[in-house]
Chains A and B, each alone.
Chain A
Amino acid sequence: MEPRGSSGVGSGNSGTYTPEIAKSLRFEEEIQSLIDPSFDASSAAGGSFTALLGLPANQAVELLHHPGPGEPPASAASSSPTAGDLWRLRLGEHHAATDTLRLPFGCSSTFEERAARFSVFATDDSPASSSGGGLSPGLKAEPPDSDSQPTLPAPVGKPRRPSKRKECEKSKAKAVAKKSKSAEENTSAAKPAAEENTSGDKLPYVHVRARRGQATDSHSLAERARREKINARMKLLQELVPGCSKITGTALVLDEIINHVQSLQRQVEVRHLPHHYHHSLSLNNFLSMKLAAVNPRIDFSGLDHILSAECGPLAVDSGCGGGASDPTMWASDTAASTGGIRRMPAPPQIWHLDLVHPQQSSTVWENNGAAHPHFLLSTATSLVGYDPASSVILNSNQLKTEL
């Protein structure tokens, strides 16, 4: 019976007291029936403690707090009807019986404490859902404490009440403190500890206690969380960059990442250098040059737009293909290929443009370089449509020829 009751109380700790209360009601009934055989259990059909006891709430609380006939608290004494007195008397009469009854129960005092806590919270009207949750570990810890005092005389009732309060608060603080301490070692417990802390707002000194434990930790916790986030991102990057997972050490890994980004950008012909680089755009961007080189039969109706734009010249020439890395070849090929296609007029014009306005082209080129043109789709679309930015390729050619 007792273990059933304790387990029931322990399991239903998330703020719904009705199952626990129901079980404790049954306990009350049994105890009462034991204490007073004439007690009518049917009168306890009500769903609350007070209905069970047939007493107003505060007196029920008092009774729970002081199961013995000991000193009833002043408030209860002031407003106690005869029924309450009778009840207390009954309890007093059978005090010895209750004591003896307690022994076989083993933990009935714990039941009373539990009931007291529930009633405490019921009267306090606090959102004791998490408190109940915090209590259940405390409650489970309590049985040994109370078991150690089986023959506690009844008059301990009065000090019991404040002690019970302290106990429950202490247990709660213990739970919170334990959690905050474990949070020191383990950031994953930080959030539950924080929640526990915020839920303990109702009891002031518990709040203070936990806060003290956590105040110094909050910074380090935040720091640790941040660092872990950053390390997680670093791991992601390591996976992205080939060959990075073997490298240990933040700086080296970052080195690899930077190299990878730079190589990719170079392949797509992207430049992030701010200002001066007339010659820095070395033609090792195979892909863009290749694409520029290879555009056989693509419509150039958009040429007009291109020419009218800042730096009109398109990626040109069908003639030269692969070895685009050779600038001189480029130049010669572009020159040579002009004869081949209907685009013929374009390059000469472009050349002309370039020669006439070298500065303009160079500035444009600088601008474009700073713009980090991404050339894949740029070349493709430039072939199809208009794209002034793609001119960088031809500009580079032209610059080379100029040089």
Chain B
Amino acid sequence: MAAEMGLARSSRHWSRALRRRLLLLRRGTASDGCGCQNEALTSSKEGGDLGVGANEEEAVEVEARVRALQRLVPGGEELGTERLFEETADYIEALQVQVSAMRTLACLLDELREKRG
């Protein structure tokens, strides 16, 4: 949990949402409302015109993917499309940093272990 908080830097919406979620869970209150709270809000914000050359079906497809992305990014449910993309970019960066750090750590620990044994 502390590590997750470590990932959840405060300057970003998704990180704040992540922290909120962590705190909620730590307190044991399994609130499942956090998963899908403001869908209505989001749908009203989106307006449906994402792509420049979007027809009806394409717009629907794009919409579906945007919703999926919202579910993936912590705190994305409440965000409009533009903000969602911003948060996604930052989230991806943070995840990549974390993954590379993990890899490094794993390698180091491997080496240590091998040296030891």
A residues at B contact (CB < 8 Å): 223, 226-227, 229-231, 233-234, 236-237, 240-241, 249-251, 254-255, 257-258, 260-262, 264-265, 267-268, 272, 274-275, 287-288, 290-291, 294-297, 310, 318, 321-322, 363, 366-368, 370-382, 385-390
Contact = CB atoms under 8 A, between A and B. Distances in A.
- Minimum-distance CB pairs A-B, first 10: A377-B3, A378-B3, A233-B85, A376-B102, A250-B51, A254-B65, A264-B95, A294-B109, A389-B1, A371-B25
A372 B54 CA distance: 34
Q: Which of B4, B85, B99 has the most CB of A within 10 A?
A: B4
Interface string B54-67: 10001001100110
Contacts of B52: 227, 231
A322 to B, nearest CB: 8
Contact of B50 (A250, A297, A376): A250
Interface string B68-84: 11011110000001100
Contacts of A363: 30
B116 to A, nearest CB: 5
A251 B53 CA distance: 11
A321 B25 contact: no
18 contacts: A250-B62, A251-B62, A254-B65, A261-B69, A261-B91, A267-B102, A288-B102, A294-B110, A294-B113, A321-B110, A321-B113, A366-B30, A370-B35, A374-B3, A378-B2, A380-B105, A381-B3, A389-B1
Dominant secondary structure of chain A at its interface with chain B: helix
B86 A377 contact: no
Nearest to B99: A267
Nearest to A369: B25
Contacts of A373: 1, 3-4
A390 B22 CA distance: 13
Interface in B9-29: 18, 21-22, 25-26, 28
B110 A250 contact: no
Q: Which of A230, A255, A367, A378 has the most CB of B within 10 A?
A: A230
Given A264-B99, A321-B110, 12 more contacts: A233-B86, A265-B72, A296-B109, A297-B112, A318-B113, A370-B32, A376-B101, A377-B2, A377-B6, A381-B2, A387-B3, A388-B26
A236 B51 CA distance: 15
Contacts of A287: 99, 102-103, 106
A123 B110 CA distance: 85
Nearest to B32: A274
Given A226-B82, A296-B109, A370-B30, A233 B89 contact: yes
Contact of A379 (B3, B66, B85, B91): B3
A385 B116 contact: no
B3 A290 contact: no
Q: Which of B22, B61, B96, B102 has the most CB of A within 10 A?
A: B102
Contacts of B93: 240
A233 B96 CA distance: 18
A258 B72 contact: yes
B69 A387 contact: no
A363 B29 CA distance: 12
A374 B58 contact: no
Contact of A230 (B6, B85, B91): B85
Q: Which of B1, B2, B72, B103 has the most CB of A within 10 A?
A: B1
Contacts of A230: 50, 81-82, 85
Nearest to A384: B2
A175 B116 CA distance: 81
A258 B70 CA distance: 10
A268 B58 contact: no
B92 interface: yes
Contacts of B22: 371, 389
B88 interface: yes
A251 B30 contact: no
A294 B103 CA distance: 12
B85 A234 contact: yes
B85 A237 contact: yes
Contact of A375 (B49, B81, B102): B102
A249 B54 CA distance: 9
Given A367-B30, A371-B25, A387-B1, A290 B96 contact: no
